[in-house]
Amino acid sequence: MNKIAFVTGANKGIGFEIARQLAKAGWKVLLGARSIERGEAAASELRDQELDVEFLQIDMTNPESILKTASSIQADYPALTLLINNAGMPGAFSRSFSDTKEADLRNAFEVNFFGTFRLNQLLFPLIRNNEGTIVNVSTDMASLSFMQSSDYALNAFDYNSSKTSNNAMTVAMALELKNSKAQVFAVTPGFTKTDLNGNAEGGKSKEDGAAIIVGYATDGKRHNGEFLDATGVYPW
């Protein structure tokens, strides 16, 4: 089996850890980041650990950058079998529908939905032909079921709705892969201490958050169309 993976938003946080864990498990990892400086630094930190990592520049808000990177993967790494759409941003983590600002909603959607949509659509034929796997990194806060439960606390409509739309994309993609050996699914790492939430106390470590995603991405089981958390299938 070819073991080439592309991970977006991998210069830090959960994405960097995903890249490290995959490379330690023997994958060649294409480490995506929007900043050349931060991306090269992250890739070189992993190469210093004798891991097989290449940096690829990709800005998820820039359609030209996404097209350029997808084209270079098609040309240089046609054996890609794993795409992990990890890059994400929180908008302003609004606290309610009423206080949500349209600009924050648009910013969240641009990365978490439109950018991810563009990259997925460009690399979909390659992953389908290679019978590979696409993981859309989601959040439990995107679950419409969770939103209606008494445990739901942070009504961050900007961030959450962008990830709910990302979940809808996962379902739509999975329907197309139903009769193939390729697969797409969503995984939530759960509350993890990273820059995304100001390194809030109480979250799990980046290593543990990433391990949940890497675990499902490499367990050899079929998860097409599932939404998964640390314990198994999570309600949409």
Ligand X SMILES: NC(=O)c1ccc[n+]([C@@H]2O[C@H](COP(=O)([O-])OP(=O)(O)OC[C@H]3O[C@@H](n4cnc5c(N)ncnc54)[C@H](OP(=O)(O)O)[C@@H]3O)[C@@H](O)[C@H]2O)c1
**Span interacting with ligand X, options 28-36, 73-81, 171-179, 228-236, rule CB under 6 A:** 28-36
Out of 177, 194, 225, 226, point to the residue binding ligand X (CB under 6 A): 194
What gap in Å lies between CA 188 and CA 128, rounded to an integer? 23
For the record, the structure tokens of 114 come out as: 């439109």
Out of 4, 5, 6, 11, point to the residue binding ligand X (CB under 6 A): 11
Q: How far is the CB of 141 from ligand X (least distance, A)?
A: 7
Q: How far is the CB of 48 from ligand X (least distance, A)?
A: 19
| Residue 20 interacting with ligand X (CB under 6 A) | no
The answer to whether residues 170 and 187 touch, using CB atoms and an 8 Å cutoff, is: no
Nearest residue to 161 via CA among 85, 221, 105, 92: 105
Nearest residue to 207 via CA among 188, 225, 193, 221: 193
Convert 74-85 into a string of H (helix), E (strand) and C (coil). HHHCCCCCEEEE
Q: How far is the CB of 232 from ligand X (least distance, A)?
A: 16
**Span interacting with ligand X, options 19-27, 49-57, 196-204, 227-235, rule CB under 6 A:** 196-204
Out of 53, 108, 177, 196, point to the residue binding ligand X (CB under 6 A): 196
Q: How far is the CB of 184 from ligand X (least distance, A)?
A: 15
What CA dihedral angle connects 187, 108, 43 and 55, to 10 degrees?
A: 100
Helix ranges restricted to H, 130-187: 144-147, 157-176
Q: Which residues bind ligand X (CB under 6 A)?
A: 9, 11-15, 33-35, 38, 58-61, 86-89, 111, 137, 139, 188-189, 191-192, 194-197, 203
